[in-house]
Structure 1
Amino acid sequence: MAQTVTQSQPEMSVQEAETVTLNCTYDTSESNYYLFWYKQPPRRQMILIIRQEAFKPQNATENRFSVNFQKAAKFFSLKISDVQLGDTAMYFCAYRSTQ
């Protein structure tokens, strides 16, 4: 069965030191899976920021990055605190089955 991941937010402008939240929804019939947030700075390779395991109830955090994972709602957001110039990038959420 195909899984779908949707990001609906357009380009965003944020001032340094602010906090920004990026939203992602997905569709799956599986109960165990991984969700990821990646960033791709201009003219550079994609970088993994954070990973969420669907079978762990606590939200993942990594330095200034944290997620809001709502399994029942199939919602997965990324919060970037204290935004810095180096955070300028395209951001992508991704899904991977454990199967």
Structure 2
Amino acid sequence: MTKSQKRPKHVPERTCIACREKRPKWEMVRVVRTPQGGLEIDPRGKKAGRGAYFCKRQECWEIGLKGKRLQHALRSEIVSEQCAELIAYSKALPKLVEETEISH
């Protein structure tokens, strides 16, 4: 590589716990288990705690919340109140997001 050629910028990727697709981090929604044991949605991806990533598709949230995938990824039990908050958030997401919508 010569001095005039620039390296491509590193784009951090994350994997959706439901569909297992890898996408750039900024296209995903992070759910974090806080050090106090609570669950929060972390849109910026900066909060402290163990995190798990979902695509911005409602179907991925349904899959991840229905089974034990989120509990396994966060390594903790999820109480029904916390799950209800996440389900309410997922209802605001589109059912299916087109690839062109994600990349913009």
Quickly name the TM-score band, shorter chain normalised: under 0.3
TM-score by length of structure 2 reads: 0.25
Larger Rg: 2
Q: Relative contact order (alpha carbons < 8 A, sep ≥ 6): 1 or 2 greater?
A: 1
TM-score (norm 1): 0.25
Higher strand residue share: 1
